[in-house]
Structure 1
Amino acid sequence: MFATLVLLYMFTSCKTEKADLIKDTKPNIVLINVDDLGYKDLGFMGSAYYETPNLDELAQQGMVFYNSYAGAANCAPSRACLISGLNTPRHGVYTVSPSDRGHKKTRKLVPIENTNLLSNDVYTLPKMLKSAGYITANFGKWHVGEAPSKQGIDFNVGGSSRGNPGKGGYFSPYKIDHITNGPEGEYLTDRLTNEAISFVEKHKDTTFFLYLPYYTVHTPIMGKEQLIKKFKTKAGSNGQNRPDYAAMVASMDEDVGRLLASLKHNEVENNTIVIFTSDNGGIRDISEQNPLRAGKGSYYEGGIRVPLIIKWPGKVEPNSSSEELVSNLDIYPTLQHISNAEIQATLLDGIDLNPILEGKSIEERDLFFHFPIYLQNYSKSNDGGRDPLFRTRPGSVIISGNWKLHQYFEDQGLELYNLKSDIGEQHNLAKENPKKTEELLAKLKHWRNETNAPTPTKRNPDYNADFEQEKIKSVTLK
């Protein structure tokens, strides 16, 4: 009897010590950033066409954020915001160059010059985590520098300054950098996941930061043939009906499931934060995000509102959600607080989300977006933007509570929307509510002054109003 009690005590003691060790150990971090995945492109976000059972389960295991935004409306600036923790005026990455896109005769202003990549001198999120003792890895689209190793990444597969996988690039032989070809026909999303799983297996006894920025679902739209055949037999709904795109979403979901299973298999699940998001809104011509207006490249909701899940066992209540305004700028300060880094960034534009993760409310804060350049439309259709020639013309945006104000620099046009009653941004209330318009415009101007945000003022000598109207007519009549 005495021996039994001793063994029971030892077993219980060991379990307690192990639990305390896990509790006191810095958590591993898995950050999954899908390329061009729309806000409504997932089952748990309301899609009836796309099938995402693994992500639906992840949503039930963590917290879903329903008012989550990218730092910018297209790839390069959004990723620069995420990795630097700084808003676009501070790093100068506004687009995938050049900044004078669209026909020169349709641009009224000379746009601000774009910065292509983050400087290697920027104290990035991976650099900060390295100072906290993390081993860092990137598997997929880096896009903010030529060499991830110079920006805080220890292990890299597939990441460089490239922004897409290239023509036919989703199947081996690959067109991206820093990857060896797999067997002919190997799918890139599978391969990057295999690399991530191998990393977990090798480094499960360390503290790691695993960044998985899939190239999918960026163009070219290329899914596995058997999945395309499956979705051809399924009826689409609400502007979502492309079998090849649905196949890409399904493969991504399957691979996320495999990675999550590997965390469990390697016994690190309970001490790992998993963050799932997208870098910007989806391309409307491929997948609509109704009722959100427009899509990638636009600062209407369809271009900047993104899915976000955060799972943290023992810290975040399962099957919980938040309506707080959050941004991918908040990921850096949140992880900096959690990791207790030795060398911390002194200037960050986001906020620490830990109070929200603990179920607390936070003080109301405003979100700001600045895009002093031009981004042309997609040639096939009107994307729902302000005019059919551009997804975005130069301007700034503020979201404050339920209110959202757009300011455009060409004509000083103002658009005010109440997102609670008009999430589709169909009813401009700027003239009906001049008091709120002036209040938000003052905040927006103050923020631009505070961040030294450049605004274009020089008139474009090539602009031709008659030519512009003819172009608008030609696009509208298509």
Structure 2
Amino acid sequence: MKIECNTVGLIQDKKMIIRTIKFLFIAFLSIGTLQCKPAETELQDDKKPNIVLINIDDLGYKDLGFMGSKYYETPNLDALANEGMVFYNAYAGAANCAPSRACLISGLNTPRHGIYTVSPSDRGDIKTRKLIPIKNTAHLSDTIYTLPEMLKSAGYVTGSFGKWHVGENPLNQGIDINIGGSSKGNPGKEGYFSPYKIDHISNGKKGEYLTDRLTNEGIEYIKKYKDTTFFLYMPYYTVHTPIMGKEEFVAKFESKKGQNGQNKPDYAAMVYAMDQNVGRLLNAIEQNGLEENTLVIFTSDNGGIRAISEQNPLRAGKGSYYEGGIRVPLVIKWPGKIKPNSTSTATVSNLDFYPTLQHITNPTKKANLLDGINLEAILYGEQPVTRNLYFHFPIYLQKYDLLKDQGRDPLFRTRPGSVIISGEWKLHEYFEDGELELYNLNTDIGEKNNLAQYNLARTKQLYEELSKWRIRTNAPIPTSSNEAYDPTANQ
């Protein structure tokens, strides 16, 4: 029934007016549920989600219960995995802390920001290096438009609680509230217990555990900004060295039998404390009524140190571009958007977080260039786009453990080179001698059988794609010989 503006003037009978009003009232009641409910849903759908990004330091791919560990105990993260999507082919942007975090925060691959390692780049004995490595950039340039800056442009309050490592102060790179973050890459000697040795944090009572404290700060942030839209970056220092667990947790794992190269009670205690604190953080989200509109990402910045915790069957660990150094755990949860208890075998990277969040939050100012892809099609269960991953490391990283590292040689975890992952295939190129290694990750995830000489067509194809990518990104290749090199050194 349609009533024009002059309807009342045309109706002379008061009873008619009353009947008309009653009719309209009943009509509105009858359709109210249909009209109002979609409107509320539409408003809810349009509301930007809070974003919680948890980035653990040096946590290995297999260091969690839901990823297959039988020794470490991670009940809270196992529950998170059941509530979101678990990625089995997730990669860090690089094999150690600073470059990986620079990739995540900038959305750019290493040749674009120049951070290849934790300075310097000429690691190891000078007599064992054939080439002069490319100089390393310590921090992200101020000209780079960071992930937090983009989120601020989208109306977010931004907070970081823990290890920053890509600049002196995250307040200069898009973070509004910073606790514990600076250029420091680890908590320092005995640094997991107060009094602390990191910057931008006050000491707690003696013996306070750093992982607990950072969580406390994060929870207070949630409470304070629950009525806004916020980004909470939780880059815990744990489980980076020094390996220090709470005494009661260490005792818990001393009585538990390890297996498959995972057997250190002090490290297990750190993993357990990390899991408890992630649980506390997620509980705070729920208790403050924010769970339904909060997107949670949980990952690690690179592979674990193999001498501390093995990631079998993956080869090597932190600092290596074999799978153990770059493959990481990843869970993403977003109620109502991501199907619970879902999994993905799509090849993804921490480079993808920036473009994904940028598309979701639609900021006023967007990044001009990003090297990752938008993951939404994967997150929502659609067909993923085929893509390649590239890694470039024109530097040296010396060994951790001669016997356990599983590097290409016993002296280095990494020698200068590049890597491409394309579908099931992975090609390594080494700049010192031009050597190529080709592996089929579907049949040889441990990278034991080099197929470069047996599959020349695939080797040539990937080498050409890798070379073209280096040209596109202006990736520097070390070519200057090191005059101090001695081929007999350390033999």
Query: Would you say same fold, with TM above 0.5?
Result: yes
Compute the displacement of 1:381 (Å): 3.7
1:447 aligns with 2:469: yes
Whichever residue aligns with residue 262 of structure 1, its letter is A
Alignment match of 2:478 (pick from 450, 453, 456): 456
1:306-348 per-residue CA deviation (whole Å, 9 max, x = no partner) reads 0000000000000001000000000000000000011000100
Q: How does 1:65-464 map to 2 (within 5 A)?
A: 65-379=87-401, 381-464=403-486
Alignment partners' CA distance in 2, 1:78 and 1:205: 32
Q: Secondary structure at the match of 1:466?
A: coil
Alignment partners' CA distance in 1, 2:283 and 2:451: 48
CA contact (8 A) 1:336 1:344 kept: yes
Alignment partners' CA distance in 2, 1:373 and 1:79: 17
Alignment partners' CA distance in 1, 2:172 and 2:143: 9
381-390 or 219-228, which moves further after superposition? 381-390
1:205-250 per-residue CA deviation (whole Å, 9 max, x = no partner) reads 0000000000000000000000000000000010000000000000
CA contact (8 A) 1:382 1:388 kept: no
Alignment partners' CA distance in 1, 2:401 and 2:444: 28
Compute the displacement of 1:121 (Å): 1.7
Compute the displacement of 1:467 (Å): 1.4
Q: Secondary structure at the match of 2:171?
A: helix
Alignment partners' CA distance in 2, 1:162 and 1:13: 55
Alignment match of 2:61 (pick from 30, 33, 39): 39
Alignment partners' CA distance in 2, 1:167 and 1:380: 24
User: 1:473 corresponds to which residue?
Assistant: none
Q: Secondary structure at the match of 1:465?
A: coil
1:135-176 per-residue CA deviation (whole Å, 9 max, x = no partner) reads 000000000000101100000000000000000000000000
CA contact (8 A) 2:395 2:416 kept: yes
CA contact (8 A) 1:120 1:145 kept: no
Compute the displacement of 1:21 (Å): 3.5
Alignment partners' CA distance in 2, 1:82 and 1:73: 13
What runs of 5+ residues in structure 1 fail to find an aligned partner? 1-5, 471-478
Alignment partners' CA distance in 2, 1:14 and 1:276: 36
Compute the displacement of 1:23 (Å): 2.2
Residues 17, 265 of structure 1: CA spacing in aligned structure 2 closer, same or farther, 3 A cutoff? farther
Alignment partners' CA distance in 2, 1:340 and 1:160: 29
Alignment partners' CA distance in 1, 2:305 and 2:233: 23
318-327 or 378-387, which moves further after superposition? 378-387
1:288-309 per-residue CA deviation (whole Å, 9 max, x = no partner) reads 0000000000000000000000
CA contact (8 A) 2:107 2:372 kept: yes
Alignment partners' CA distance in 2, 1:186 and 1:382: 33
Count of aligned pairs: 466
Alignment partners' CA distance in 2, 1:8 and 1:47: 56
CA contact (8 A) 2:306 2:404 kept: no
Alignment partners' CA distance in 2, 1:347 and 1:443: 20
1:81-111 per-residue CA deviation (whole Å, 9 max, x = no partner) reads 0000000000000000000000000000000
Give the TM-score taking structure 1 as reference length: 0.95
Whichever residue aligns with residue 276 of structure 2, its letter is E
1:331-366 per-residue CA deviation (whole Å, 9 max, x = no partner) reads 000000000011000100000000001101122100
Question: Kindly, what percent of the aligned residue pairs are identical?
Answer: 70
Whichever residue aligns with residue 163 of structure 1, its letter is G
Alignment partners' CA distance in 2, 1:229 and 1:301: 32
Alignment partners' CA distance in 2, 1:354 and 1:433: 35
Residues 9, 361 of structure 1: CA spacing in aligned structure 2 closer, same or farther, 3 A cutoff? closer
Give the TM-score taking structure 2 as reference length: 0.92
What runs of 5+ residues in structure 2 fail to find an aligned partner? 1-27
Compute the displacement of 1:22 (Å): 2.7
User: 2:83 corresponds to which residue?
Assistant: 61
User: 1:24 corresponds to which residue?
Assistant: 46
Whichever residue aligns with residue 111 of structure 1, its letter is P
Alignment partners' CA distance in 2, 1:193 and 1:401: 38
Alignment partners' CA distance in 1, 2:262 and 2:358: 38
Compute the displacement of 1:14 (Å): 8.3
Alignment partners' CA distance in 1, 2:206 and 2:37: 47
Compute the displacement of 1:438 (Å): 0.5
Q: Indicate the RMSD between aligned Cα atoms, in angstroms.
A: 1.8
